[in-house]
Amino acid sequence: MQPLVSEFLDSLHSKKYSTNSIQSHRLDLRKFLKWLELDEEDTDSQKLLALIRKLSPDDIEIYLAFLRESYKPRTLARHISSLRLFLDHLELSGLIKTSPAHHIRFPEIIPDAPEILSTEEVVKLLEAPSLDHYLGLRDRAMLELLYSSGLKVNELLGLDVEDLFLDLEFLKVRSKRERMVPMTSTAVEVLRPYLDQARAGRLLHPEDSCLFPGRNGTRMSRVGFWSMIKKHALRAGITSRINPRILRHSFAVHLLQNGIDLTDIKQLFGYVSLDATLQYAHVNRPDFFKVYHEHHPRGQKHTAGE
């Protein structure tokens, strides 16, 4: 592989980019090298740098016109992102003076409407697990927390007991952007009996801090969770397509339908930086948790009226 490209990909890995994302950037840059008439396996870094240093913004526009012949806007945007990241990396490394791609405009992308469940379907799903045994308590707690806080599956499965602050009704999400996220009173009510009655007895290692162990007593796997959510969807009589991403979309859309601001959705999802302290959240947006509870279908305002 071209050494400069390899170094760039290594930098993405150190920044905790996903394997799939890094692979996509590699393939996009292979296309760019081919356009420059340079083989991906050519190890002459100076040759590549010489070609890039000659590029002007107009040359980049010509390259984009070349890409438009084959790609739709969404794929084109990914290629632009890969190119900008790579050239910015070279600039920050001092290998080129200025990236010729600074002023590239991304194509307009009209997003597809997300698949969601109705509020009624979500309630049926959340209440499908039986609370008479360990697995039911665990599954109900997981589903409530997933919908309560709009978590990704890997964020949910990565939670430890110490990440929960039940009395304050929020949790800490440890991901690429660590953040504090509120949870509904309903989720807290389900988590307490799960923690008191079920979790400890199912751990393979008593000292393990994982919040949700699987059947083997260690942290539940993604496959295990997908299987669980489909089982309860079937039990709830949900015939539409179901997966954790759809439940996450439902969380966002239901809040928006009830009047919460899109900026708050971004904050909940971690798209807007949120410091890992509750105090920072209050300073940044004093009414953040109040707004969340007022607009979440299973928050304090809604459950009080049931």
Domain boundaries, the chain: 3-92, 119-304
Quick: pLDDT tens for 2-19. Answer: 888 999 999 888 888 888
Neighbour-count burial of 79, counting CB atoms closer than 10 A to its CB (0-12 exposed, 13-18 middle, 19+ buried): buried
Quick: pLDDT tens for 192-235. Answer: 999 999 999 889 999 999 999 998 899 999 889 989 989 999 99
Question: What are the residues facing 182 on neighbouring strands?
Answer: 170
Name which residue leads in pLDDT, 296 or 231: 231
Residue 272 confidence class, pLDDT cut points 50, 70, 90: very low
Neighbour-count burial of 277, counting CB atoms closer than 10 A to its CB (0-12 exposed, 13-18 middle, 19+ buried): exposed
Segment 94-121 shows an average pLDDT of 76
C-alpha closest to that of 222 among 208, 212, 236: 212
Give dist(CA 222, CA 212) in Å, integer.
12
The reported pLDDT for the residue numbered 277 is 25
Q: How many helices (H) and strands (E) does the chain have?
A: 15, 3
Work out the mean pLDDT of the chain and round it to a whole number. Answer: 81
What DSSP character marks residue 175? S
Confidence (pTM): 0.55
Give dist(CA 32, CA 76) in Å, integer.
12
Name which residue leads in pLDDT, 170 or 43: 170
Provide the percentage of residues in the chain whose pLDDT is more than 70: 80
Report strand pairing: 179-182 vs 170-173. Answer: antiparallel
Segment 234-259 shows an average pLDDT of 77
The reported pLDDT for the residue numbered 284 is 35
Quick: pLDDT tens for 162-193. Answer: 999 999 998 998 877 788 888 889 999 999 99
The domain 119-304 is placed in CATH, from the list 3.40.47.10, 1.10.443.10, 3.40.50.300, 3.40.50.720, at: 1.10.443.10
Give dist(CA 14, CA 17) in Å, integer.
8
Segment 258-265 shows an average pLDDT of 60
